Amino acid sequence: AQSVSQHNHHVILSEAASLELGCNYSYGGTVNLFWYVQYPGQHLQLLLKYFSGDPLVKGIKGFEAEFIKSKFSFNLRKPSVQWSDTAEYFCAVGGYTGRRALTFGSGTRLQVQP
Amino acid sequence: SQTIHQWPATLVQPVGSPLSLECTVEGTSNPNLYWYRQAAGRGLQLLFYSVGIGQISSEVPQNLSASRPQDRQFILSSKKLLLSDSGFYLCAWGARGLAGGRETQYFGPGTRLLVL
C-alpha cells in the first residue's frame, strides 16, 4: 500500500525567506506525484505534478519540486515566499496503473509573516 | 473548460439522519470520480471511486455509500449519520484514458458536514 509522509506540519516563515517542504512516499512501482495547495477559504488546487522526464518540475506561482527516486522524495521549494503563499500544502501520490486514486500526506500549514 | 460542482456547501445534520451529497462535473465525459474526506488536521482520505456508471469501489468500511447514476454525477449517501461522519467532503474528477496511466485529479469546492 502507498503511504505519504509530510514531516513539516506547521511552518512559519518571513516574507522573502526560502521554502522547502518535505514529502516522502513509500511505493515500489511507478508513481505519479503531485503537490496541491489549499488557500484559506478556497478549494484544493493543483500546484504542480510529476509524471516522468525531468525530475525538476515547475508549477504555478514560482513553486518547483524535485523528484529524487532513490530517496522516494518529492520536496516542494520556492526561493522567496510571499504573504499570499500562506496556505496548506498537500503532497499526493497516485498509482501509475490500476488504482489511480491519490494517497495524500497529512499536509503542511505554511504561515508567511509580512 | 471543465468544472466540478458540489452541494450543499455546508450542512448541519442530527445524528441518525440521512445524508445525500451531490457532485457533478461539466465539460468532460467518462471521467473517473472520487470522494475524499478531510478530517481536521489530517490529510485527505479516499472513500470511494468510480470508473463508470454504476461502478463503485469502496476504500474503507464505513457508514457511507456512493452511487453514480449518470456519467458525470457522483452521490455520497448515508442512511444514518454518526458523529464521526463530520468532516469536509471533497469530490474530484480525473481524466481517464490518458497514455501511460497518467491522471490528474481536480477537486471541487467541498461540503462541510457537521453532525450533532
Q: Average pLDDT of B17-25?
A: 97
Of A38-52, A94-108, B7-21, where does mean pLDDT reach its minimum?
A: A94-108
CB contact, 8 Å: B88 with chain A? no
pLDDT for residue A99 is more than 80 = no
Contact B46 A100 (CB under 8 A): no
Closest in A34, A43, A106 to B108, CB measured:
A43
At residue B110, what are phi and psi to the nearest 5 degrees? 90, 160
Helix %, strand %, coil % for chain B, to 5? Answer: 5, 55, 40
Q: What cell numbers appear for B113 in the block? A: 458536514
Q: Which of chain A's residues have a Cβ under 8 Å away from the Cβ of B94?
A: 100
CB count within 10 Å of CB A60 equals 10
Residue B37: partners with Cβ closer than 8 Å, 6 or more residues away? B44, B45, B47, B87, B88, B89, B90
Pairing mode, strands B10-13 and B111-115: parallel
Task: Name the one residue in this structure whose C-alpha cell is 448541519.
Answer: B12
Name every chain B residue with its beta carbon within 8 A of the beta carbon of A100: 32, 94, 101, 103
The three cell numbers locating residue A107: 499536509
